[in-house]
Amino acid sequence: MNAAADPILEVEHLSMRFGGLLAIADLSFTARRGEITALIGPNGAGKTTVFNCITGFYRPSSGMMRLVHADGTAFLLERQLDFRISKRAKVARTFQNIRLFPGMTVLENLLVAQHQVLMKASGFTFLGLFGIPVYARAESAAIDKASYWLDRIGLLRRADDPAGDLPYGQQRRLEVARAMCTEPALLHVGRHEHLRPRDRARLRGQDRRRFARGSTQRFQGDRRLSGRRG
Ligand SMILES: Nc1ncnc2c1ncn2[C@@H]1O[C@H](COP(=O)(O)OP(=O)(O)OP(=O)(O)O)[C@@H](O)[C@H]1O
Ligand SMILES: [Mg+2]
């Protein structure tokens, strides 16, 4: 099978009703692995609601959302609790407002993202923190992964600076790197509306190059995309 044409997310007949308001009415689409899929529409069209259904924040009124990993494992997202969607189905998201730890360094922010893996290696005890080999190996793997993504987003040189000192556009990139450190199968990136137009264009160009190579599907809600492309 052609990897690029391999569906990763199939949404069928998705509807979401809030009381008398039908926010999503019978939406169907397929997102494919290694491609950027954009969801576009005017204010109130229901883009964020679709995100919230896929990430398990809302349970849809009806419809099916099927996520398929590269190894063929399939998850019916409408039947999962949201923590399962992030942990097992490996669906990650960034948020419209920045959620980094501003007082921690750039590198530390990426290590915290991998914290659970480190905790597992340490046997969930502080003993693990005293340098038992398996913990040391996990920590060094976490640093390697963080360095890889810092390099990809061009922020390796800022590794030891507080994240809060970075300009806005770089913090946004760091958030994407942080999400990538959790090795998601599907990454949702909210629109970049708070960026200056120049940063937005740059970020989008970088994302396209970065994710076209990787196996992660990037899924973006941006009502401006259509206008800019057209
Ligand atoms: N929790 C909720 N309760 C009630 N109505 C909601 C809720 N969330 C969203 N809605 C309504 O659903 C519709 C779709 O909203 P949504 O936020 O998904 O649109 P959007 O496409 O993301 O818009 P925008 O471009 O402004 O971000 C709107 O009419 C909104 O008021
Ligand atoms: Mg929205």
- Most confident stretch, 104-108, 135-139, 211-215: 104-108
Among protein residues, the one whose CA lies closest to atom 4 of ligand 1? 18
Order of strands, sheet of 62-68, starting from the edge strand that comes earlier in the sequence: 21-32, 7-18, 62-68, 74-76
Helix (H) or strand (E) segment spanning residue 65 = strand 62-68
Q: pLDDT at residue 2 above 70?
A: no
pLDDT at 137: 73
Q: Check pocket membership of 190 for ligand 1, CB cut-off 6 A.
A: no
Domain boundaries, the chain: 3-220
Lowest mean pLDDT among 74-78, 82-86, 167-171, 196-200: 196-200
Mean pLDDT of the chain: 78
Nearest 5°: the CA angle 13, 224, 5 is: 50
Q: Look up residue 111 and give its two tokens.
A: 């290590």
Tens digit of each residue's pLDDT (9 = 90 or more) over 26-70: 999 999 988 888 888 888 999 989 988 998 889 999 999 999 998
Q: Check pocket membership of 205 for ligand 1, CB cut-off 6 A.
A: no
pLDDT at 1: 47
Q: Check pocket membership of 97 for ligand 1, CB cut-off 6 A.
A: no
Task: Specify whether the CB–CB gap between 108 and 178 falls below 8 A.
Answer: no
Substitution candidate for ligand 1 out of 15, 18, 51 with most atoms within 8 A of CB: 18
**Identity of residue 7:** P
Q: What is d(CA 200, CA 204) in angstroms, rounded to the nearest whole number?
A: 6
Spacing, Cα 46 to ligand 2 middle (Å)? 7
Among protein residues, the one whose CA lies closest to atom 8 of ligand 1? 49
Nearest ligand (C-alpha, residue 40): 1
Exposure class string for 55-79: b at 16+ Cβ within 10 A, else e: bbebebeebebbbbbeeeeebebbe
Q: Check pocket membership of 52 for ligand 1, CB cut-off 6 A.
A: no
Secondary structure letter of residue 230 according to DSSP: -
Q: pLDDT at residue 229 above 70?
A: no
pLDDT at 186: 87
Tens digit of each residue's pLDDT (9 = 90 or more) over 109-121: 999 888 766 666 5
Q: pLDDT at residue 165 above 50?
A: yes
Spacing, Cα 40 to ligand 1 middle (Å)? 14
pLDDT at 89: 84
Nearest 5°: the CA angle 223, 226, 229 is: 135
Spacing, Cα 210 to ligand 2 middle (Å)? 25
Among protein residues, the one whose CA lies closest to atom 11 of ligand 1? 23
Percent over 90 (pLDDT), the chain:
39
Task: Specify whether the CB–CB gap between 171 and 112 falls below 8 A.
Answer: no
Substitution candidate for ligand 1 out of 17, 40, 43, 49 with most atoms within 8 A of CB: 49
CA distances from 121 to 60, 137, 158, 225 (A): 36, 9, 28, 42
- Mean pLDDT within 76-93: 80
Task: Specify whether the CB–CB gap between 92 and 86 falls below 8 A.
Answer: yes
CATH class of segment(s) 3-220: alpha beta
- Of 101, 83, 100, which Cα lies nearest the Cα of 92? 83
Tens digit of each residue's pLDDT (9 = 90 or more) over 196-224: 566 556 656 655 544 444 445 555 554 43
pTM: 0.71
